[in-house]
Structure 1
Amino acid sequence: MARLLHLSDTHLLGPGSTSPHPDIDPEDRLIAVLSAATAEGPFDAVVVTGDISDDGSGDAVRRVHDLVRPLAPIVVAVPGNHDDTDVVAQVFGTALVRVGAWTIRGAATNVPGEVAGRADPVLDLLGECDGPTVVLMHHPVRSRSAHPWFTLRGAAALEQRLRDHRTPMILLSGHLHQPYEDTVGGVRLYGAPATFYGIAHDGEEWTPHGAPTGALIVDLGEDGTSSARLIDA
């Protein structure tokens, strides 16, 4: 059994940047979640599914890396719509690692200048997945929201490929600021809450601070099974 700590939407800021939510300190929130998670370890890897920074800065991304690095021997991340893709890759390295029987692969679903995402990078890597695989992506395949910001361009094509997939696979995502769990064919979909603030989704409406914050613990079985549970913090 391998254990992952799945974090998302930390939204840290670099020096001189201001937050649209000045009443919440994103670094304090992340530290509180990590403190709660420590009691649930040890972890084989920490994975972060995007919006690591709120301002796209390298300082914010490096600070998140420094905070999560002590929790596991492996730390990987993919960019979100607030992030600079190259900066995330420079700080966290390539999101392609082995954890037990599983391979972790990252896909950059973010589109520069847009909030919504695209499925093409995930579709491109599916042909390389011939064993138990964890795919990291910021934008979820199935959104609880009908708002354009929370959609994934090409999601229908990706869902069809997932239905046809025949080896164990899970997709880990963020972006919604709301935890969720779903299935497409034999593929499990797990969405992490934000560490920063939660969002409740209802069609095209969304309400800040309406969902729990925290992280997911994802357990990966040697036989290709998986399970996830929420750390509400």
Structure 2
Amino acid sequence: MNRNIHIVQVSDCHVSAETGMTYRGQYPHKNLQAMMRQVEPRQPQLLLATGDLSEDGSRRSYQLLKEALQIPGVPILALPGNHDDPNLLAEMFPGSPVETIAVSDHGPWQIIRLNSCLPGRPEGFLGERSLADLEAHLSSAEQRPKLIAVHHQPVPVGNPWIDKYPLENATEFMRLADHYADVKVVTWGHIHHAFNAERNGTVLLGGPSSVINSLPNVQRFTADPAGPACRWLELKADGTLSTGILLAAAKTG
């Protein structure tokens, strides 16, 4: 029996209430629809949506997002980014974290979601309660491989234009990730490009945007001609993983 978990991580969709609104010259809703036409044939068991899902934090934007992400029988695990309304997101996607952590079990793996939003600010911060609850959970939970998902990057990614808006208390967060060996993966959105690294046995992943991405290692946002993308992850029963990037077939604008 295959106990591996196939996940697709979709991030930074920037969907607005009006489908004709653009983001950096692209149409977020159309690009997300194109992206999902590539995702659905892969038959993921789970969608992980890692923030900036809405551009304007409106109820209508979340309705459009939910419709676009819908694959029959596939749960959506959402978390907020700095453009989102965490409370409304949690209403539209029940279980999305607001004041504390969200924990769910998927086969042999456990997924922990965090809210790193600071109202009205582009950088991120994990509240005292979230950090305390995360530490308490990691110290007492069953020993099983864990993936932690958050919106803001906890390590520099090499792009100054976005590295000035990091997870501000990343030191405290990464202390926990470093200390607990069953934290196998930390993944995030926010950066609008793919990122892969490893630290003390933990795989660090940045997910690309479903609307538009930047080339890596540039001073200013520079559109990647490859276009919209998402990340797939195969979480294996032995605590390892495979991962890669899936490109949309088309882009708009």
Using the size of structure 1 for normalisation, the TM-score is 0.89
1:61-72 to 2 correspondences below 5 Å: 61-70=62-71, 72=73
- Offset of 1:211 from its aligned partner? 6.5
CA 211–152 in structure 1, closer or farther in 2 if over 3 Å, else same? farther
Change (3 A) 1:150 1:210: farther
2:160 to 142, 146, 158: 146
Partner of 2:145: 132
Q: Report what 1:78 is aligned to.
A: 79
Shift of 1:182: 1.4
Cα pair 1:162 1:184 within 8 Å, conserved: no
Q: What is the rounded CA distance, in whole Å, between the counterparts of 2:183 and 2:176 in structure 1? A: 14
Q: Which residue of 2 aligns with 1:158?
A: 173
Q: Which residue of 2 aligns with 1:9?
A: 12
Aligned match of 2:105: 98
- Distance in structure 1 (CA, Å) of the matches to 2:166 and 2:115: 15
The answer to whether the Cα contact below 8 Å between 1:143 and 1:150 also exists between their aligned partners in 2 is: no
Instruction: Give the direction of change, closer, same or farther, for the CA distance of 1:71–1:135 in structure 2 (3 Å limit).
Output: farther
Q: CA deviation at 1:190?
A: 1.3
Q: Quick check: 1:81–1:114 contact (8 Å CA) kept in 2?
A: yes
Measure the CA separation in 2 of the matches of 1:143 and 1:119: 17
Q: Shift of residue 74 of structure 1?
A: 1.3
- The question of whether the paired residues in 2 share the 8 Å contact of 1:43 and 1:72 is answered with no
Counterpart residue type for residue 94 of structure 1: G
Partner amino acid, structure 2, of 1:178: H
Q: Is the 8 A contact 2:152 2:166 kept in 1?
A: yes
Q: Write the distance in 2 (CA, Å) between the matches of 1:8 and 1:83.
A: 12
Runs of 5+ in structure 2 lacking a partner? 97-102, 249-253
Give the structure-2-normalised TM-score: 0.83
Q: Percent identity?
A: 21
What does residue 31 of structure 2 align with? 29
Q: Residue type matched to 2:66 in 1?
A: H
Contact 1:8 1:51 in 2 (8 A): yes
Report the counterpart of residue 209 of structure 1 in structure 2: 223
Count of residue pairs brought into register by the alignment: 230
CA contact (8 A) 2:11 2:53 kept: yes
Distance (Å, rounded) in 2 between the aligned partners of 1:10 and 1:73: 18
Superposition deviation, residue 56 in structure 1? 1.0
How far apart are the structure 1 equivalents of 2:30 and 2:86? 24
Secondary structure of 1:47's partner? strand
Deviation at 1:17, TM superposition (A): 8.4
Q: 2:5·2:106 contact (CA, 8 Å) conserved in 1?
A: yes
**Shift of the alpha carbon at 1:222?**
1.1
